[in-house]
Amino acid sequence: MTADIAAILAIDGIATGAVYALVAIGTVLIFTVTRVIFIPFGDIAAFTALTLAALDARQLPGTVGLVVVLACMACVMELASLARAGELRAAPKAVLGYLVLPLLAVGIVWLVMRISPPMPIRIVLALLLILPIAPLLDRIVFRPIADASVLLLLTVSVALHFALVGLGLLFFGPEGVRTEPLTSLALDIGDVHVPGQTVLILTAALVFSGLLFLFFDFTLLGKALRATALNRTGARLMGIRPARAGTIAYLLGSLMAGVSGILIAPVNTIFYDSGFLLGLKAFVGAIIGGMISYPGAALGAFGVGILESFASFQSSTLKDVIVFSLLIPVLLWRSLASQHSEEEVEE
């Protein structure tokens, strides 16, 4: 391997890592606020890519059907639980949140699509369609078992992923898609050729993690989310509803996953089931960061991306084997490190 090839592989790895980083940050965000390890996150990213591809082809994306079905289910469940609690006064608000708002997103997409909007608008439309999915799934699947153990939540999360893959096949069909490149520009640093898409991916990752950081540090809502993650009882005593904090976490996380899906779609061919590997690799990155640290998760995700890039140069068939084998030493090191700190506490 020459230095040139190493540089190209490194740049490629950093770009892949940036995509994983967005999903990893979303995974950590949702885990800390709701205790759910949201495995279907990669699916959300893949669905965004498929949605954008359909919009590019001037077709109504399968996401529309998915959102309508989920919105109806969530609304019925919310009304049923309100009726059981004898709180039907809150029904209009529930209908607005779980039915009207998601359908409004669908309606906007349907209307705007008729005027054949340019690329940036199509991206916004794709994100708009993706955003309601995770919060609606949260209402349907996770809200009824919100107090369950992390293990049970994880099991349900895995099941939900398989359900989503099936729904993906139903709504999007088996064809793979690759969207138009967002830019054809390229950058030459010395002898190394950096594609514009790579620059774009890195910029987007930095911008969106930066925005998240600003949101956490400078808005009361962002602080409330952090507070819920740190101390659930304390947050409730401040009047912060964990369910509401969860919805916001799912919305923000979906935005991160959606952006990563849009960034990766021109580079890789995306199928209805492509999300799993993306989500799993981001999850490995998040685990390296201990599932609680955003910079840790981002660094871990970059590490995974770079390792994958070099591994695929050595042996493209074994690249996933190499990446996931990394998990074992990392988990060993993590468990040893955390034991060490517990001993220190006892002293």
Partner 1 sequence: MTGMLSIENVSVSYGKVEAVRNVSLSVEEGQIVTVIGPNGAGKTTLLMAAIGLLRSTGRMLFRGADLAKVDVEGRVERGLCLVPEKRELFSDMSVADNLLLGTYSLRDRSTTRKSLDDVFDRFPRLKERSKQAAGTLSGGERQMLALGRALMAKPKLLVLDEPSLGLAPLIVREIFRTIASLRSLGVSVLIVEQNARAALETADYGYVLETGEVIQSGPADTLIHDPKLIAAYLGGH
Q: Identify the residue among 44, 75, 201, 224 touching partner 1 (CB under 8 A).
A: 224
Closer to partner 1 by Cβ: residue 93 or 241: 241
Distance of alpha carbon 316 from alpha carbon 12, whole angstroms: 14
Query: How wide is the angle at C-alpha 204 spanned by C-alphas 199 and 209, nearest 5°?
Result: 135
Q: How far is the CB of 240 from partner 1 (least distance, A)?
A: 6
DSSP 149-176: -HHHHHHHHHHHHHHHHHHHHHHH-S--
**Residue 192, φ and ψ in degrees, nearest 5:** -95, 130
Q: How far is the CB of 188 from partner 1 (least distance, A)?
A: 44
CB 249 within 8 A of CB 30: yes
Name the 3-class secondary structure at 239: coil
Closer to partner 1 by Cβ: residue 233 or 341: 233
345 near partner 1, judged by CB under 8 A? no
Query: Which range, of 5-13, 67-75, 163-171, 225-233, touches partner 1 by CB under 8 A?
Result: 225-233
Closer to partner 1 by Cβ: residue 49 or 229: 229
Q: Identify the residue among 5, 238, 321, 331 touching partner 1 (CB under 8 A).
A: 238
295 near partner 1, judged by CB under 8 A? no
- Closest C-alpha to 15, from 288, 289, 257, 263: 263
User: Total residues contacting partner 1 (rule CB under 8 A)?
Assistant: 19
Q: How far is the CB of 221 from partner 1 (least distance, A)?
A: 9
Contact pattern from residue 74 through residue 93 relative to partner 1, giving x for each residue in contact according to CB under 8 A and a dash for the rest:
-----------xxx------
Closer to partner 1 by Cβ: residue 184 or 233: 233
Distance of alpha carbon 215 from alpha carbon 317, whole angstroms: 41
- Which two tokens mark 329? 């030493």
Of 109-128, binders to partner 1 (CB under 8 A) are none
CB 333 within 8 A of CB 29: no
Query: Which range, of 2-10, 201-209, 227-235, 310-318, touches partner 1 by CB under 8 A?
Result: 227-235
- Which two tokens mark 251? 């919305």
Q: How far is the CB of 154 from partner 1 (least distance, A)?
A: 24
338 near partner 1, judged by CB under 8 A? no
Distance of alpha carbon 258 from alpha carbon 265, whole angstroms: 11
CB 50 within 8 A of CB 272: yes
Question: What distance, in Å, lies between the first and last C-alpha atoms of the chain?
Answer: 50
Q: Identify the residue among 120, 174, 190, 239 touching partner 1 (CB under 8 A).
A: 239
Closer to partner 1 by Cβ: residue 230 or 331: 230
Name the 3-class secondary structure at 269: coil
Site of tokens 């590490």: 303
Residues near partner 1 (CB under 8 A) = 85-87, 220, 223-224, 226-227, 230-231, 233-241
